[in-house]
Amino acid sequence: MEEQYILEMVDISKSFPGVQALKGAGIKVRKGSVHALMGENGAGKSTLMKILGGLQPADSGKIILKGQEVSFSSPSESLKNKISMIHQELTSIPHMTVAENIYLGREPLAGKVFVKDSDQNARATELLQGLGIQIDPKIKMVRLSIAQMQLIEIAKAISYNSEIIIMDEPTSAITEREVEHLYTMIRNLTKKGVAVIYISHKLNEIFNIADEVTVMRDGEYVNTKKIEELTRQDIISMMVGRELTHMFPKVEVEIGEPVLEVKNLTRAGKFNNISFTLHKGEILGLAGLMGAGRTEVMESLFGLVPANSGEVLIKGKPVNIKSASDAKKNGLAFITEDRKLTGLFLPHSVKDNIIAASLDRFVVGGIFMNEKSVNGICEDQKKLLRIKTPTIEQKVKNLSGGNQQKVLLAKWLLTDADIIILDEPTRGIDVGAKSEIHALMGELVKTGKSVIMISSELPEILGMSDRIIVMHEGKLTGEVSRQDATQDVLMSFATGTI
């Protein structure tokens, strides 16, 4: 029965200074199947996959590929063995073209030296067309949105013609429509016998695409089951080791007077005539597909990129926000969707990241930092959000993806902003922590703050929002109250079919 698995990872252990990331973890994957790998943030999923991808060596354990024991000391070895990987962090090179990014390290060559650019572009065009991705391979990566970059990374992983493709949270940056597209691509791959290891925190996706599920907890193997034998509750309790009852703990709060009014905000080429109002104690959901311009509106509102026209009133008074510090002074906080680019200082400690936006609060006598209160508050935040890190002195780049997101949240929650803009706040966050963040949003509005939440996950929008506005191609296409909102209504607004 051994040969039925194309890949077996057995009893893998790995430790980092201060952290045992894996202890006896493993996974067994069948040819032509989609194998979901699940676990809380920091469970060790990415680490296990990095070992398979040749990025990190295991301390102990065995990898058996098609019956042969192997070990990879570099990504190129793993690629040669027909294993490719979509990394949890986007790994694109901004100032190179799409085609150059896709064929990086294996460019079509003339005479072993010269890169045949036109060949490369033609190949990329063919690849992207075959996958139904409409992106010109000759444009530079910086010109793409995050979601488009993610699609390119998917295309790149597929282009290796691998037998095993690891997808570490491939849908973290794309919306429902592109997810459907990804499913199609995955099904085409498995038909050809390719095995896909699929990591995601979104249970919907798992039930849509996976054949088998392996669950990990705290670096250990928990169980592997066929998807038919599982319910959502089963997976969740295997992951967290306890029951989790309500997913969207909506707190009923009295909605007060308007705190933010946006009138006819326009930025050429990005969005047009956006008007909406946010009230005290309200969670306003902002739904839409990728590229609808939701993030762009918030960027202009927050003063990062100026709008061409329009008016913004905060608590009834017109304001002119030209920079992030203006925005902060006016009581706004913005938790960005791209934590690497605009949110976190990766080489700095968890502590320094958490306090970065509220330094004034910890200064004594205008000069010195009050280390004691810094440490106290950071420890509180760590506990509150269950940030998995050995100490608050740990560098953020060493945390798992989901825990990085939590640090970002902690940072903004510490500021005493009244209006909090959350752009995809639970992207990459496990189910347990997700419901805690949702609960925290409830706490925020209970204390009289207001929240704007951009999310591409419709269940989250539906579950948490008091009111929902929807954007499509730079325009506001709909507004629905909590009672009237359904998945279908939102989708038709989001696709512009109403």
Partner 1 sequence: MSEVAVKPNNDLSKSVKAFLTKYSIYFILVLLVAILTFLSPAFLKPVNLINIVRQISLIAIVGFGVTMIIITTGIDLSSGSVIAVAGIVASKFAHPDTYPLAVALILGLGVGLLAGAINGFFVSIVKLPAFIATLGMMLSFRGVGYILSEGHPITNFTKEYDFIGSGYWLGLPLMIYILFGAAVLSYVILRHTKTGKCIYAIGGNQQAAVVSGINVKKNLMFVYSYAGMMSALAGIMLSSRLSSGQPTAGLTYEMDAISSAVIGGTSLSGGIGTIQGTLIGALIIGVLNNGMDLMHINAYYQQVVKGSIIVLAVILDKARNR
Binding site for ligand ATP (CB under 6 A): 16, 19, 21, 39, 41-47, 88, 388, 398-403, 430
91 contacts which partner out of ligand ATP, Mg ion, partner 1, none, CB within 5 to 8 A by kind? partner 1
Q: Does 89 contact partner 1 by CB under 8 A? A: yes
- With b meaning 16 or more CB within 10 Å and e meaning fewer, what string describes 36-74? bbbbbbbbbbbbbbbbbbbbbebeebebbbeeeeeebee
Residues 19-58 binding partner 1 (CB under 8 A) are: 53, 55
In angstroms, the Cα distances linking 188 to 33, 56, 111, 184, 418 are 11, 30, 34, 6, 48
Quick one: which H or E segment has residue 304? Answer: none
Query: Is the Cβ–Cβ distance between 23 and 13 less than 8 Å?
Result: yes
Residue (349 or 400) nearer to Mg ion, CB: 400
15 contacts which partner out of Mg ion, partner 1, ligand ATP, none, CB within 5 to 8 A by kind? none
47 contacts which partner out of partner 1, ligand ATP, Mg ion, none, CB within 5 to 8 A by kind? ligand ATP
What's the token pair of residue 447? 């204390």
Q: Does 139 contact partner 1 by CB under 8 A? A: no
Residue 140: CB atoms within 10 Å = 14
Taking the complex as a whole, the smallest distance from the CB of residue 354 to ligand ATP amounts, in Å, to 16
Task: Please give, one letter per residue, the 3-state secondary structure of 146-192.
Answer: HHHHHHHHHHHHHHCCCCEEEEECCCCCCCHHHHHHHHHHHHHHHHC
Residue 161: which residues within 8 A CB-CB, separation 6 or more?
Answer: 82
Q: Does 309 contact partner 1 by CB under 8 A? A: yes
CA atoms within 13 A on the CB side of 468: 28
Taking the complex as a whole, the smallest distance from the CB of residue 113 to partner 1 amounts, in Å, to 5
Residue (401 or 432) nearer to ligand ATP, CB: 401
Query: Is the Cβ–Cβ distance between 276 and 476 less than 8 Å?
Result: yes
What's the token pair of residue 340? 């690497």
What's the token pair of residue 478? 């709909």
Quick one: which H or E segment has residue 217? Answer: strand 212-217
Taking the complex as a whole, the smallest distance from the CB of residue 48 to ligand ATP amounts, in Å, to 7
Beta bridge partners of 14: 22
Q: Does 365 contact partner 1 by CB under 8 A? A: no
Q: Which amino acid is at 110?
A: A
Residue (17 or 105) nearer to partner 1, CB: 105
DSSP assignment of 434-490 equals HHHHHHHHHHHHHTT-EEEEE-S-HHHHHHH-SEEEEEETTEEEEEEETTT--HHHH
Q: Does 85 contact partner 1 by CB under 8 A? A: yes
Residue (127 or 408) nearer to ligand ATP, CB: 408
105 contacts which partner out of Mg ion, partner 1, ligand ATP, none, CB within 5 to 8 A by kind? partner 1
Residue (324 or 440) nearer to partner 1, CB: 324
Taking the complex as a whole, the smallest distance from the CB of residue 62 to ligand ATP amounts, in Å, to 19
Q: Does 73 contact partner 1 by CB under 8 A? A: no
Structure-derived torsion over alpha carbons of residues 429, 431, 435, 441, reported in degrees to the nearest 10 = 20
Taking the complex as a whole, the smallest distance from the CB of residue 347 to ligand ATP amounts, in Å, to 12
Residues 385-404 binding Mg ion (CB under 5 A) are: 400-401
Q: Which of 46, 92, 330, 349 binds partner 1 (CB under 8 A)?
A: 92
Residue (57 or 132) nearer to partner 1, CB: 57
Q: Which of 19, 34, 35, 46 binds Mg ion (CB under 5 A)?
A: 46
Q: Does 338 contact partner 1 by CB under 8 A? A: no
- With b meaning 16 or more CB within 10 Å and e meaning fewer, what string describes 110-127? eeeeeeeeeebbebbbeb
Stretch that binds partner 1, among 81-89, 179-187, 356-364, 478-486 (CB under 8 A): 81-89
Gyration radius (Cα) of the chain, Å? 23
Distance (Å, whole) CA 211 – CA 200:
14
Residues 96-125 binding partner 1 (CB under 8 A) are: 96, 100-101, 104-107, 109, 113-115, 117
Taking the complex as a whole, the smallest distance from the CB of residue 151 to ligand ATP amounts, in Å, to 20
Q: Which of 3, 95, 365, 368 binds partner 1 (CB under 8 A)?
A: 95
Stretch that binds partner 1, among 89-97, 200-208, 221-229, 251-259 (CB under 8 A): 89-97
12 contacts which partner out of ligand ATP, partner 1, Mg ion, none, CB within 5 to 8 A by kind? none
Task: State the residues that interact with Mg ion by CB under 5 A.
Answer: 46, 88, 400-401
Task: State the residues that interact with partner 1 by CB under 8 A.
Answer: 53, 55, 74-76, 79, 85, 87, 89, 91-96, 100-101, 104-107, 109, 113-115, 117, 263-264, 266, 268, 308-311
